[in-house]
């Protein structure tokens, strides 16, 4: 047997120092995604941190708060906004929302779509007024319903909605201050 043709298994039979003998080979670790609950919580904290960094007072809402994840107020102008945070992991700009998104539209309600890329990269934030999200979701869902399935049968209505974040809203934090003269 030649020394360089030994497999890892065969090396267990050689006289190697104890710590090296029969050491398992390292496998590459797979990137494990966070659970939906953890990624959603991370998104909310990232949004609150980013708002704080931009001079807003931000607070995460209680879990039982309907349609509000983050409350924010600007200390100088006293402008208040409520934010619905949606978080996804990995590349892509497609988001799944619920039917209630069609009815959630007010000038002080915003969506911040958070895209977690990896642990070393700052998340992407898409800041979109709720009115635009509601219009887009409603229009897109009606269009989807108007088309038949591949087999020709009509589609059934579901509570799920799709939303695609336009790049125009990437880091568009100024949306929050649009009605006032402050800079976000």
Tens of pLDDT, residues 48-80: 999 999 999 999 998 767 779 999 999 998 999
Q: Is residue 84 part of a domain?
A: yes
What one-character DSSP code corresponds to residue 159?
S
pLDDT-above-90 percentage for the chain: 41
Query: Residue 128: what pLDDT?
Result: 95
pLDDT tens readout for residues 134-174 = 999 999 888 888 898 899 999 899 888 888 888 899 999 99
Query: Residue 45: what pLDDT?
Result: 95
Domain count, the chain: 1
Instruction: Please give the structure tokens belonging to residue 176.
Output: 């929050």
Mean pLDDT of the chain: 81
Q: For residues 17 and 173, which has the higher predicted lDDT (pLDDT)?
A: 173
Q: Is 24 left (phi over 0), alpha (psi -120 to 50) or beta?
A: beta
CATH classification of the domain holding 133: 3.40.1350.10
Task: Give the highest mean pLDDT range of 13-27, 72-86, 90-104.
Answer: 72-86
For 183, phi then psi, to 5°, come to -100, 130
The pairing of beta strand 109-116 with beta strand 80-89: parallel
Q: Is residue 123 part of a domain?
A: yes
Q: Is residue 12 part of a domain?
A: no
Q: Is residue 10 part of a domain?
A: no
pLDDT-above-70 percentage for the chain: 78
Q: Is residue 90 part of a domain?
A: yes
Q: Which domain holds residue 160?
A: 36-177
Q: Is residue 5 part of a domain?
A: no
Q: Is residue 4 part of a domain?
A: no
Q: Is residue 27 part of a domain?
A: no
Closest by Cα among 52, 88, 44 to 176: 52
Q: For residues 180 and 152, which has the higher predicted lDDT (pLDDT)?
A: 152
């Amino acid at each position: 047997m030649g020394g360089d043709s030994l497999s890892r298994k065969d090396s267990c039979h050689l006289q190697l120092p104890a710590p090296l003998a029969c050491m398992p080979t390292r496998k590459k670790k797979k990137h494990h995604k966070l659970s939906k609950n953890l990624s959603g919580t991370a998104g909310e904290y990232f949004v609150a941190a980013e708002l704080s960094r931009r001079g807003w007072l931000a607070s995460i809402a209680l879990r039982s708060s309907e349609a509000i994840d983050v409350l924010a107020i600007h200390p100088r102008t006293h402008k208040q906004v409520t934010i619905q945070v949606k978080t996804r992991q990995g590349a892509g700009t497609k988001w799944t929302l619920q039917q209630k998104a069609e009815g959630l539209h007010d000038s002080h309600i915003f969506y911040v779509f958070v895209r977690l890329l990896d642990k070393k990269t700052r998340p992407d934030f898409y800041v979109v007024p709720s009115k635009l999200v509601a219009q887009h979701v409603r229009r897109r869902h009606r269009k989807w319903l108007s088309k038949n399935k591949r087999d020709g049968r009509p589609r059934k209505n579901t509570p799920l909605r799709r939303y695609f974040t336009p790049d125009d809203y990437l880091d568009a934090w100024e949306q929050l201050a649009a009605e006032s003269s402050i800079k976000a």
